[in-house]
Amino acid sequence: MNIQWYPGHMTKTRRMMEETISLVDIVIELVDARIPYSSKNPDLDTLAKNKHRIILLNKCDLADDRATAIWTDYFEQQGFRVIQMNSLKGTGMNQVTDAARSLMQEKIEKLKARGRINVPIRSMIAGIPNVGKSTFINKYVGKAMTKTGDKPGVTRGKQWIKLKKDFELLDTPGILWPKFEDQEVGLKLAFTGAINDDILDAETLAVSFIDHLLLRNADAIRKRYQIAFDTAAEPHEVLRQIAEARSFKLKGGEPDLARTAKILLDEFRGGKLGRITLELPEDITEMLESKAEREASKATEDKVRKQKFKGKETK
């Protein structure tokens, strides 16, 4: 299943971020705690170079606690300030301002020494679609300042939000990156709802999701739907079992797999399958090593091809 989704407004968003990044001191990025690597926009590492960085592991209430602790340590070792967040309930909210002030303490002291008091800390809020950014801001500000929705791509324009005298936030629309180099990343984004469901085939996506869980947390499906299977089961057959367990049928008695697929994905996204993290740092290391091997192999093939071409030219 090849997944790519980069609507035109995301190109405009990236351009806007490039134009305004110089105005901010800190870039705060929300990532989905269930897929911290896959939901972290690699473009931000380039755009926010030389800026202070805060990562909010949002939706941590839906992720495995132990995995979230591992990811927190992983990002902190890379120099990020990390806060575990549940934007719906406000968990971790109070730590954001303190973290920003701590990162800016040296600059604040220098400004005070020059007589400049209450110069606002300016932060940019960024994140992929449907990661909970607008919900976070509404909770953080204390009132509905931004439009929220359960579909990716609701926020379409930038807006400055002033908090007290010394803190300002620049909200930006959700943005992905133009091409997913690894389709596992695209799949995980689709599983969590970061990619518009309207462009995806729900049944194919659900089968891929089941295939992923069979290797990691098959019990989540067994317990939720009260079905029995082993880890060698065919994912499509497991989807059929779920349909039968829920009595989702078409006319004629055939299992309604399309409806079942949608329900399965919705229940995962809503946390009804339990607290599930779909990736760990060790998986990313393996993925990057595999990518490096593929690139090295391709480079070798290209070199051999060029040598053969040159050989033909000299004859």
Q: Which long-range contacts (CB under 8 A, 24 or more apart) does 22-25 make?
A: 23/122, 23/170, 24/51, 24/122, 24/123, 24/124, 24/170, 25/51, 25/52, 25/103, 25/104, 25/107, 25/121, 25/122, 25/123
Contact 164, 120 (CB under 8 A): no
- φ/ψ of residue 150, rounded to 5: -100, 15
Q: Where are the domains of the chain?
A: 10-171, 201-269
Q: Is 189 helix (H, G, I), strand (E, B) or coil?
A: helix
Pick out the residues of the known binding site for GTP. Answer: 58-61, 86-87, 130-135, 174
* Percentages (nearest 5) of helix, strand, coil residues in the chain: 50, 10, 35
Nearest to 281 by CA among 10, 54, 78: 78
Residue with tokens 């009132």: 143
Q: Which pLDDT score, from 0 to 100, does residue 143 have?
A: 57
Averaged over successive runs of 10 residues, the pLDDT of the chain (315 residues) comes to 53 76 90 95 86 96 97 96 94 90 89 81 87 88 53 52 79 65 83 85 94 94 95 94 96 94 96 96 73 57 62 59
What span, in angstroms and rounded, lies between the C-alpha atoms of 35 and 107? 34
Pick out the residues of the known binding site. Answer: 58-61, 86-87, 130-135, 174
Q: Which pLDDT score, from 0 to 100, does residue 62 have?
A: 97
Q: Which residues pair with 52 in a beta bridge?
A: 26
Under CATH, to which class is 10-171 assigned? alpha beta
What span, in angstroms and rounded, lies between the C-alpha atoms of 98 and 28? 13
Q: Which residues pair with 168 in a beta bridge?
A: 122, 162
- Give me 109's structure tokens: 């002291």
Inter-CA distances, 150 with 78, 132, 134, 140, 153, Å:
31, 9, 10, 19, 9
What span, in angstroms and rounded, lies between the C-alpha atoms of 31 and 127? 6
Q: Which pLDDT score, from 0 to 100, does residue 65 have?
A: 96
Q: 177 in the Ramachandran plot: left (φ > 0), alpha (ψ -120 to 50) or beta?
A: beta
CA within 13 Å, CB half, 255: 16
201-269: CATH, from 1.10.1580.10, 1.10.20.10, 1.20.1250.20, 1.10.8.190: 1.10.1580.10
DSSP state of 263: H
Contact 206, 236 (CB under 8 A): no
